[in-house]
Amino acid sequence: MTHRPENQGADLPPGGIIPTALLPFFWRPRFPGTSPVITCVPLLFWLPQALEARRVAVLGVGDGVAHFALCQALEKDGLTGLSCDGIGFWRGAAEDAPAVPPALREHSENVYDGLSRLHSVASPGAACTILHGADLDLLFIDLDSVPSEDLPWDDIPSMVGASGLVVVHGSADLPADGPAATFLAGHAALRHDGWTRLALCPMGNVPPALSVLLDAAQTSDGKAGLALVLRRLGQGLVAIEETRTLRRQTEDQALVLTDYENTLAKVQRQEAQLQKGYDLRGGKLAELQVRHFTTEGTVAGLHAQAKHQAQLLAQERRLRFDETAALTRMLEHERQAGGKTLAALKAENASLSIRITKLLGSTSWKITAPVRRIRRMVKRR
């Protein structure tokens, strides 16, 4: 939550046109919120000053808007010994372990240390125990943040002092015969059930500033005028908070848009790189396709050449086979002819051998042996 260093109002007219006593109505809350109680904040800024309050309390802190508005008003007085007790009915992880929300606890400690005291209780009865006999100058009860029908309304007067004031706020209708309605019927000096349900219940003496307000609201015109002023001031705070929320959302959306734009730029760069890589790979793919087609043509040519070579080889084989067959037939014929010649030669050789044998064994060959011997001798000489 935003911490303003000073109570700052809306754009006020210059020259002190607005009385100092009414300036709190125009302050802006340091701890804004969106709950319906924000419409009561201008009145809560003004009441501590009007009551000269030193000790106040909030029963039903809820989102903390009312509690921190009272803390802001007390701090503005610059007095010591002031206190603002906030009783909340928050729940922790377990049903019996209530806990003060971290955002409220941190704001209380960082901005209003020593002034703000936050208490987390499990039941309205426990809250009344804390505030019983507290002698409060102002007690604010937010019925939107406290179970009103469980609240011991009869103990409320024991919590405030002789000049104390109880302010009751709620946005829902109250049962007509319920304890809350009975309490308001007996104590409310000013009650408004229009744009928000608000009741001011003095528990004793009424301070002069508050008396003027209550007296002005006794007439119908005065009550309507007061309601109109408070409504306009409350609606102004609502508009301011809505504008602040819208500004934060716009800033967040601007950051998100910037992130989206950065992401888009990054994606576009990546896309450009991918496109560049795709184009490069496309060029390489085209080159590979050309090489593929060229290789296919080369392979087809080699297949055709191999087929032609195979045909030539087949023709050559057939030719060689025919030649071999012819040579085989010729050799076979020559073999057969040679066999016949050999047989004839063998027969002739056998006949000659027989003739030689007969010649050598003949008487004439034996008789002419000396003659042949002399002849050989003559030839040697």
What is the model's pLDDT at position 4? 39
How does residue 195 score in pLDDT terms, banded at 50, 70 and 90? low
CA 274 – CA 297 distance, rounded (Å): 33
Q: Is the pLDDT of residue 7 over 50?
A: no
Name 190's Cβ contacts closer than 8 Å, sequence gap at least 6.
199, 200, 213, 214, 217, 223
Higher per-residue pLDDT: 146 or 17: 146
For residues 218-242, average pLDDT: 73
Q: Is the pLDDT of residue 57 over 90?
A: yes
For residues 242-256, average pLDDT: 86
Residue in 183, 220, 171, 147 with CA at minimum distance from that of residue 40: 171
What is each CA distance from 307 to 20, 297, 300, 301, in whole angstroms? 116, 15, 10, 10
pLDDT tens by residue, 65-99: 999 999 999 998 777 789 999 999 887 544 555 68
What is the model's pLDDT at position 335? 85
Are 138 and 47 in contact by the 8 Å Cβ rule? The answer is: yes
- Helix, strand, coil content of the chain in percent (nearest 5): 65, 10, 25
- Average pLDDT over the chain reads 83
Are 169 and 196 in contact by the 8 Å Cβ rule? The answer is: yes
CA 336 – CA 356 distance, rounded (Å): 30
What is the model's pLDDT at position 348? 87
What is the model's pLDDT at position 278? 84
The pTM of the whole model exceeds 0.85? no
Q: Is the pLDDT of residue 147 over 80?
A: no
The CATH number that domain 20-218 falls under is 3.40.50.150
For residues 215-225, average pLDDT: 71
Higher per-residue pLDDT: 294 or 373: 294
The domain spans of the chain are: 20-218, 303-380
How does residue 3 score in pLDDT terms, banded at 50, 70 and 90? very low
